[in-house]
Amino acid sequence: MSELFYDAAPNATRVAPERPRPRTYPAKPAEVTLFGTCVVDLFFPEAGLDAIRLLEREGIRVHFPDEQSCCGQPAWTSGYVNEAREVARAQLNLLDNGLPVVVPSGSCAGMFRQHYREVFAEEPDTLKRVEDLAERTFELTEFLLHVCKVDWQDLGQPTQIALHTSCSARREMNTHLHARELLGKLANVERLDHDHESECCGFGGTFSVRMPEVSGAMVLDKTRSLRESGAAEMVTADGGCLLNINGSLEKQKQTFRGRHLASFLWERVSGEVKS
């Protein structure tokens, strides 16, 4: 749903959802850039710090440019092409350093890998830089799994969790597969399936603002499925979905909650239990 433009601007274009682009994974680098995403920065800063801790644990030096902001996805999926292009150009300039870019959000990583090609389709010179950024962009769990090849000892207590992966992250980055495999490496964690895992939580960026009644119904289905799974908590790699799902649970006066996968992983491998 979030992959289709709404008619918010005269020059808006409708595009079909992308599938993940095949890739060959490099050896583990000495340095990376973390693109923290605006939602993590504003609402879940501890998850961004935990992502850095996970990377540093693997012996990687992490750069975090202070000037980074939004990837441009909200404007792009709402049809504001020119505005999205300017936001995207600022990030492209900032990340044009040759380092791998690790993103604790599959949907934002998908924006870099998939949609910047469309954003700059009429700028051939810029497209060369876009392709370079795409090849250097990795969602966090993908990077830990396939580039760092982590082999962790689970220091946490036995628990059962439910996984949520954003719909765009599933389609564009295979984030659900990476997260499942990474969680499978934790000996004391049991992932419980729920029948709405592949369905949108109703956030969809500006979709939740434009169509609040539909969005609200969707997140009710999602939260009901999560609670009925029997899991102790939900984990997700996307801050927007986390914000939407936890907001709905709070409104329902439910005690069940979700948290960012980066924080969950850090707790398991560090042994630090946060209050």
How would DSSP label each residue in 198-211?
Answer: TS--S-TTTHHHHS
Report the range of poorest mean pLDDT among 8-12, 181-185, 206-210, 230-234.
8-12
- Measure the CA angle with vertex 163, ends 113 and 145; round to 5°: 50
Domain ranges for the chain, please list them: 31-147, 159-270
When pLDDT is averaged across residues 77-104 and rounded to a whole number, the result is 96
Dihedral sign for Cα 191, 139, 37, 203, please.
Answer: negative
Strand ranges (DSSP E) for the chain?
31-34, 61-63, 101-103, 137-139, 159-164, 189-191, 233-236, 258-260
pTM over 0.75: yes
CA–CA dist 178, 250 (Å, integer) = 29
pLDDT in tens, 241-261: 999 999 999 999 999 999 999
pLDDT in tens, 189-238: 999 998 888 888 988 777 888 888 998 999 999 999 999 999 999 999 99
The DSSP output letter for 102 is: E
CA–CA dist 59, 54 (Å, integer) = 9
When pLDDT is averaged across residues 16-38 and rounded to a whole number, the result is 86
159-270 CATH choice from 3.40.50.1860, 3.40.50.620, 3.40.50.1220, 3.30.200.20: 3.40.50.1860
